[in-house]
Amino acid sequence: MSAGSGDRSGTNNPRSNVNRLSAENVTLAYDQRVIAEKLSVEIPDNSFTVIVGPNACGKSTLLRALSRMLRPSDGRVLLDGSVIQSMPAKQVARTLGLLPQSSIAPDGITVGDLVGRGRYPHQGILRQWSAEDERVVQESMAQTGIAELADRYVDELSGGQRQRVWIAMALAQQTPLLLLDEPTTYLDIQHQIDVLDLCAELHEEQGRTLVAVLHDLNHAARYATHLIALRGGEVIAEGAPKDVVTADLVERVFGLRCQIIDDPETGTPLVVPAARKGRTQREKAAVTGAS
């Protein structure tokens, strides 16, 4: 059915041989507008899965369904074998963290206090704020480069700074699964790479399962262990980046003619768009030199 579907990166749960997070034949809609129908996706455990596709193809909608933010009108999303909609919210929040595409902070809240809210799922009647909570918050702010902003009000920050604050809050939640909807939005290129490097570290060094929506296909190919390519609410291809990112696939999914070369730094697929109107740099140079 899909390119590379037999080559899933990440290992399955050794206890049950079933991945922790999946969607089975889900139909996703907003009001009466159907975004995806009978869509099935399995997130390989211990993977860094990236969902790619053109605008309005259902990437963020799928992520919302996987995170319990959107109830499927048909089908089901499973977390650890249970229908996610039937699970207590706090139980889900201790297992699965979410960085949504657009987040609004309460008025007058400081960076430190907002990041601290990531510890809410771990609180209870018999467990209030602890030294461990404080350590996790401080560590999360340090990892995202916002420790010096701890006492600043969130509404005073730039878009890029606010994005890093939300990422820090998601990290403070300390969940084994972390879902991120366009985590590099508002960030300059340096901070984009910083955030993606951090995601790779969480996956490689801490064993977390990450699912991210990214617009940059080259970033996706460089960082993902597992790619899911969507178009029109349908999985067109999935698997390891080297199997998914082909010139044919890019044209089919994105409508872009291109060449695929090896990234000189990582060896992962690198998409090089075809020159405008088919003219190469050599052809342009020849025309310029002749004039």
| pLDDT average, residue stretch 216-239 | 98
Q: 8-17 pLDDT, tens per residue?
A: 333 333 334 5
pLDDT of residue 187: 87
Q: State yes or no: pLDDT of 30 exceeds 90.
A: yes
Q: If you average pLDDT over residues 260-279, what whole number do you get?
A: 91
Looking at residue 103, its pLDDT comes to: 80
- Taking residues 64-80, report their average pLDDT: 97
Residue range 113-133: mean pLDDT, rounded: 84
Q: Which pLDDT band, with edges at 50, 70 and 90, does 278 fall under? A: low
Q: Provide the pLDDT for residue 282.
A: 60
Q: What's residue 32's pLDDT?
A: 85
**Dihedral over alpha carbons 134, 96, 190, 186 (to 10 degrees):** -100
Sketch out the chain's domains with CATH numbers: 21-244 (3.40.50.300)
Kindly state the average pLDDT of the residues 174-192: 92
> Looking at residues 186-214, what average pLDDT do you find?
92
pTM: 0.83
Task: Output the pLDDT for position 285.
Answer: 60
What is the pLDDT averaged over residues 213-239? 97
The DSSP string of 23-73 is: EEEEEEEETTEEEEEEEEEEE-TT-EEEEE-STTSSHHHHHHHHTTSS--S
Sign of CA dihedral 192, 197, 202, 208: positive
Check whether 192 has a pLDDT greater than 50.
yes
